[in-house]
Chain A
Amino acid sequence: MKYLDEYRSETLAKKVVEEIQRTVTRPWVLMEVCGGQTHSIVKYGIDRLLPEGVELVHGPGCPVCVTSLEMIDKAHAIARRDDVIFCSFGDMLRVPGSNGDLLILKSRGADIRIVYSPIDCLQIARAHPDKKVVFFAIGFETTAPANAMSVWQARQQGIKNFSILVSHVLVPPSIASILQSPQNRVQGFLGPGHVCTVMGFQEYEPIAARFRVPIVITGFEPLDLLEGTLMTVRQLEAGRAEVENQYPRVVKREGNRVAQELVNKVFEVCDRKWRGVGLIPKSGYKLRWEFRDHDAERLFDVKDIDTAEPAICISGLVLRGVKKPHDCPAFGKQCTPDHPLGATMVSAEGACAAYYAYGRHLQLPANQESVPV
């Protein structure tokens, strides 16, 4: 299976690393946006293969991590009701809210179910007409088509006891927010491959132009990430700021138009709070008014729940690429995947959880700045 190994080939990887070395004349800070990319980078030690001066910082692209504490508290308020069957992706169940996680609530008798797809909830709703079935609709643009279709089908099929608690977040406004921050260090982005499978990459073009940053849509294999890095530093060295596609075998410029169309019929853009970061204007989706009968936030009157996040960890700075996980004194000590203190440790896709999973808490003492070798 030669083709499988091409994207892991040491010889090819070495060639790309050498080309990056030849290209770079000064230090650059790049951010990979997607949590899946972070996971791959840390697992294969891509950041440590890069020449000194080319630094990868880890972006906000973990939807479980960035779901606000307030939204989790709203989920709890709904899930503990006797008349509710609360459905969620498995990852969300152990994310701590202000009073424990959904698993604890489940152990106390709440009817909380893990589903593979939001569309499964329609069947649960049909089977339990006496209950209100609520799906915790989190995610970036990758899960929006599925969540939109579940609401669309509920309406088409007259399923009235199904609603979704929407906490959708969007990549482009989060990138713009990082670039606008006075603390920003990021000079170029490895764009999120799978998000762009859905949305295409046209909406990144105004960001690249406005902020003068290269954005290279990048895949997830080690060689993809190295090539994405090379394409980004080539642009930086040449003074270019364009959107390029390293991942054309999967991503097309226009994305999936059919999916975008339904997403736009069901959702509209709104301001959204991000865990660890705070409110980012126009960075999320909410249900359009015509779908209000499927809007759990409205149906269960939880709009007024307003939770302030404790300043116990630096996850907000990690999500924006200002700090690395091991810059945090709690990393790997008080804060572990079993006892996460904040956003980036709560899901396997979070930067802190990825560092922990691959033993980086054992390799570097707390507060030590990482130095790519």
Chain B
Amino acid sequence: MCLAIPGKILEVETNGQGVLMGRANFGGIVKQVCLEYTPDVIKGDYVLVHVGFALSKVDEEEAARTYRLLEDMKQLGELDVPDIQPFPAANESPP
């Protein structure tokens, strides 16, 4: 939770709520990531992700290095928590 996990951006989209989102690949696990704090990222970029939010861009080498370190230290457990769903979908009305 405290250490950022690097992921590769597979897709960038603005969801129905106007929120910049993406899908990121974390060593084979694909998860939804909010890109509001890194608005200039494009598909193929590597980002450091804290609890579902990309907070900085890194190069591929740094991403691989960080991922391996976290793997060695068994600090990737949070990726096993399933996505609830992307961002609240556009077609759902608020309660």
- A residues near B, CB below 8 A? 1, 3-4, 7, 34-36, 39-40, 43, 61-64, 89-91, 114-126, 129, 139-140, 142-143, 145-146, 149, 153, 156-161, 194, 197-198, 220-221, 249-250, 256, 258-259, 262, 348-349
Known A-B contacts: A90-B81, A119-B34, A159-B95. Give 7 more (CB < 8 A).
A34-B2, A63-B1, A122-B87, A123-B85, A142-B55, A146-B51, A220-B66
Query: Counting CB contacts under 8 A, is B58 at the interface?
Result: yes
Out of B2, B65, B88, which one reaches A140, CB within 8 Å? Answer: B2
Contact B69 A116 (CB under 8 A): no
With A and B bound together, what is the CA distance between A156 and B18 in angstroms? 10
Contact B92 A126 (CB under 8 A): yes
Contact A63 B2 (CB under 8 A): yes
Contact B58 A250 (CB under 8 A): yes
**Interface size grouping (class) on chain B:** 35 or more
Least distance between A193 CB and chain B CB atoms (Å) = 9
Contact A90 B78 (CB under 8 A): yes
The interface residues of chain B lying within 8 Å CB-to-CB of A116 are 31, 51-52, 78-79, 81-83
Contact B1 A143 (CB under 8 A): yes
Contact A4 B68 (CB under 8 A): yes
Asked whether A123 and B88 contact (CB < 8 A) given A61-B2, A89-B1, the answer is yes
SS class of chain B's interface: helix, strand, loop or mixed? loop
A147's nearest neighbour on chain B, judged by CB, is: B51
Contact A349 B2 (CB under 8 A): yes
With A and B bound together, what is the CA distance between A142 and B69 in angstroms? 18
Out of B50, B79, B83, which one reaches A145, CB within 8 Å? Answer: B50
B6's nearest neighbour on chain A, judged by CB, is: A250
Least distance between B51 CB and chain A CB atoms (Å) = 5
Contact B77 A90 (CB under 8 A): yes
- In chain B, positions 59-91 with a C-beta closer than 8 Å to chain A are 59, 61-62, 64-66, 68-69, 72-75, 77-79, 81-85, 87-88
Best-surrounded residue of B56, B59, B69 (most CB of chain A within 10 A): B69
The interface residues of chain B lying within 8 Å CB-to-CB of A145 are 37, 50, 53, 55
Asked whether A119 and B39 contact (CB < 8 A) given A142-B4, A159-B94, A221-B65, the answer is no
Query: Counting CB contacts under 8 A, is B48 at the interface?
Result: yes
With A and B bound together, what is the CA distance between A161 and B51 in angstroms? 21
The interface residues of chain B lying within 8 Å CB-to-CB of A158 are 94
Least distance between B18 CB and chain A CB atoms (Å) = 8
Best-surrounded residue of B53, B59, B78 (most CB of chain A within 10 A): B53
With A and B bound together, what is the CA distance between A143 and B31 in angstroms? 17
The interface residues of chain A lying within 8 Å CB-to-CB of B74 are 348
